[in-house]
Chain A
Amino acid sequence: MALRRVQKTYGAVWAVRETDLEIEKGEFVSIVGPSGSGKTTLLTMIAGFETPTAGSIIVGGQDVTMLAPNRRNIGMVFQKYALFPHMTVRQNIEFPLRMRRLARGRDLAKRVDAMLDLVQLGALQHRYPHQLSGGQQQRVAVARALVFDPPVILMDEPLGALDKKLREAMQFEIKRIQERIGATVIYVTHDQEEALTMSDRVAVMHRGRLEQIGSPSDLYANPDNAFVADFVGSVNFIPGTVCGTDHLHVAIKVGNALVQIRSPQGRQAHRREEGAAVRVAARPEHIAIAPYRDRDALSLSGTIETMVFAGASRTALVRLHEVPELVLRADVPSSIRSLPDRGANVALSFSLDALRVFDAEGTA
């Protein structure tokens, strides 16, 4: 399916700016973004509850932009499930088959049974939705969206109402079902972690604009801009000025110290001009902490303010000496013994390949 130059305005307010998106068959694509970024609007346009102000939506080679929602063959799992309270689990799952006249009698029973097996709800099929737990209701909603074999399934924050443990279990459950039937899924969430673990590709939206789309590892390692870098995973931004280049590297002055990074290419080439105000982005796991005496020309230094234990790693918050108003977050493996204590001065070094550089704040 594809979105071609789709946009939506409410009066003078942009909800979704011109967006292009191609999704392959069987692909699991997440749309992430903070609330109000237009991701749900995009989804409601694909489902047909809203018509785009301009552009077209194509599903399986057919333009469905102006088609009523009930004439589109798109499944949807709603944020609050939207199960019909006056129908049993089984009746809920039968509903799309009856409405679309896809099956009747024996055939209908067989398809519903198969779907109940898939979501493991056979034993609860005669219960009403209010007699089910949140996780069970969620599974009914998924079954109801899948039972009529739509080529595309939309999910609007389907796990938002569940607690953390259950949410993680359901992530695998949804992924398992999706892979088993090879469905194309568009999954909207504000939880970037959820998007990274489940998706083949992730699209990041911000203020109605599709900022970047790519595989989770690609987004994480090569964000196009500071917003994506910040939204996908966590990142430290260190402000500085470009002060020297050779053909491979750029030196960036941070306070009185220098940080060296790989020379940015292509669209970002302007960021190697001397004097350009930039931000260096470093993920917490790419910052190494060393004893203060080991510092050299290419490392920064700081004072440890807090040390937090977080299972596999420890998170250190370090106040930079070079930029005193800045506190960096560094993740160090818990397995390292001899970690410096709170208040200790340390040297911070960066893995050269993992650093990225963006325009300074306000110019991005």
Chain B
Amino acid sequence: MMNIQASVQRPSRLATITRPRDASRFAPLTSWLLTLPLVATFAIGFLYPLAKLVTLSFTNGAESYIRLGQDALYFGVMTTTVVTAAAVTGFCLVLGYPVAFAMTRLRGKAALITAACVFVPLWTSVLIRSYAWIVLLQRKGIINDVLQDAGLSVHPLKLLYTQSAVVLAMTHILLPFAILPIYATLRTLPPDLARAAANLGAGAVRTFLLITLPLSLPGVFAGAILCFVLALGFYITPALIGGPGSMLMATLIGQQTTVLLDWPFAAALSTVLLSDALLIVFLFRRALSLSKGFHNVH
């Protein structure tokens, strides 16, 4: 009797924020307290420097931005960056999808080995993986040796310090970021769907194209955004493997801050890169929400 009366009583104003409304939830105040460390870190470590960066880019008025707009060089670097990121994303998806697909089908030892092949590179430093590509691609590197020994080319080919080398190495490094979201989505698809498609008369190819692929698109899109955004800001790999002709935004920003010490201009470049990334992600999401495969699943 006592309990029933107590629960019928109108709670005080303080009680509404300190007591949970039902057993499965935290009270609003508790929820805020629990998120506080993250919110604080985020504010101090991310929002504040970001605001500082944008302010810095306007120290000489809009001068940095005018210079950026007038000089075709910077526009060129920006384009190269976007094209490179797009190419890397494309390769990651094309190479990553079959791996993710295989991971959902494999069992036992084969599954373990495949998972290791995906994860171990992820745990290895980007610097090491970039140097590994230098070892492979340089004039007296493994690939040139093999080509010459096989008699396929007389002189060593220029493989390193090219745009293709950058795309190759970046694809290798970003591949897990495409595989994992696709794998996560494919794994949630009930195996009965593919069986049903077969039962209704669809062969393996049509089952894949009409059922599995459309239903895995959310994972493909997640992987694409992840790869693309990471590729836009890639620094070490293009700096080591790319030649001066294939300079990317991150390298340019690095040069401005550490060599030329033109911080306001570097800040302006960063701001432009950031807004480009945001714009592209926004457009991408917008395009996807219009496409059917995205919002009708689950």
CA distance A234 to B201 in the complex (A): 42
Q: Looking at B200, B203, B207, B292, which has the most chain A CB atoms within 10 Å of its CB?
A: B200
Q: Looking at A75, A76, A83, A144, which has the most chain B CB atoms within 10 Å of its CB?
A: A76
Q: Is B293 an interface residue (CB 8 A)?
A: yes
Question: Chain A: how many interface residues by the 8 Å CB criterion?
Answer: 25
Are the C-beta atoms of B293 and A86 separated by less than 8 Å?
A: yes
Are the C-beta atoms of A99 and B296 separated by less than 8 Å?
A: no
Contacts of B6 in A (CB 8 A): none
Query: Of the candidates B200, B202, B203, B215, which one forms a contact with A85 in the assembled complex, judged by CB atoms under 8 Å apart?
Result: B215
B295 → chain A, closest Cβ, in Å?
10
A33 → chain B, closest Cβ, in Å?
21
Are the C-beta atoms of A85 and B297 separated by less than 8 Å?
A: yes
A153 → chain B, closest Cβ, in Å?
10
User: Nearest B residue to A100 by beta-carbon distance?
Assistant: B201
Are the C-beta atoms of A95 and B200 separated by less than 8 Å?
A: yes
Contacts of B215 in A (CB 8 A): 84-86
B235 → chain A, closest Cβ, in Å?
39
Are the C-beta atoms of A70 and B198 separated by less than 8 Å?
A: yes
Are the C-beta atoms of B199 and A69 separated by less than 8 Å?
A: yes
Q: Is B147 an interface residue (CB 8 A)?
A: no
Known: A69-B195, A86-B215. A148 touches B201 (CB 8 A): yes
Are the C-beta atoms of A86 and B296 separated by less than 8 Å?
A: yes
Contacts of A70 in B (CB 8 A): 197-203, 207
Query: Of the candidates A47, A48, A75, A82, which one forms a contact with B193 in the assembled complex, judged by CB atoms under 8 Å apart?
Result: A82
Q: Is B71 an interface residue (CB 8 A)?
A: no
Q: Is A74 an interface residue (CB 8 A)?
A: yes
Q: Is A130 an interface residue (CB 8 A)?
A: yes
CA distance A78 to B192 in the complex (A): 8
Q: Is B298 an interface residue (CB 8 A)?
A: yes
Query: Of the candidates B201, B206, B292, which one forms a contact with A86 in the assembled complex, judged by CB atoms under 8 Å apart?
Result: B292
Q: Is B222 an interface residue (CB 8 A)?
A: no
Main secondary structure of the interface of B (DSSP, over half): helix
CA distance A96 to B197 in the complex (A): 8
Contacts of B214 in A (CB 8 A): 86
Contact with A along B265-298 (1 / 0, CB 8 A): 0000000000000000000000000001100111
Are the C-beta atoms of A76 and B298 separated by less than 8 Å?
A: no
Q: Is B44 an interface residue (CB 8 A)?
A: no
CA distance A96 to B202 in the complex (A): 8
Are the C-beta atoms of B201 and A82 separated by less than 8 Å?
A: no
Contacts of B190 in A (CB 8 A): 80, 82
CA distance A128 to B295 in the complex (A): 11
CA distance A68 to B202 in the complex (A): 10
User: Nearest B residue to A141 by beta-carbon distance?
Assistant: B196
CA distance A74 to B201 in the complex (A): 9
Are the C-beta atoms of B199 and A74 separated by less than 8 Å?
A: yes
Query: Of the candidates B195, B206, B207, which one forms a contact with A49 in the assembled complex, judged by CB atoms under 8 Å apart?
Result: B195
Are the C-beta atoms of B298 and A130 separated by less than 8 Å?
A: yes
Q: Is B95 an interface residue (CB 8 A)?
A: no
Q: Looking at B207, B215, B296, B297, which has the most chain A CB atoms within 10 Å of its CB?
A: B296
B280 → chain A, closest Cβ, in Å?
26
Contacts of A47 in B (CB 8 A): 195, 199
A214 → chain B, closest Cβ, in Å?
29
Partner-B contacts on A (CB < 8 A): 47-49, 68-70, 74-76, 78-80, 82-86, 95-96, 99-100, 128, 130, 144, 148
Partner-A contacts on B (CB < 8 A): 190, 192-193, 195-203, 206-207, 210-211, 214-215, 292-293, 296-298
Top 8 nearest A-B pairs (CB, nearest first) are: A99-B201, A82-B196, A96-B200, A82-B192, A100-B201, A69-B198, A99-B202, A70-B198
Can you list 12 residue pairs at the A/B interface with Cβ under 8 Å? Answer: A47-B195, A48-B198, A48-B199, A70-B198, A74-B199, A76-B199, A82-B190, A84-B211, A84-B215, A85-B298, A99-B201, A99-B206
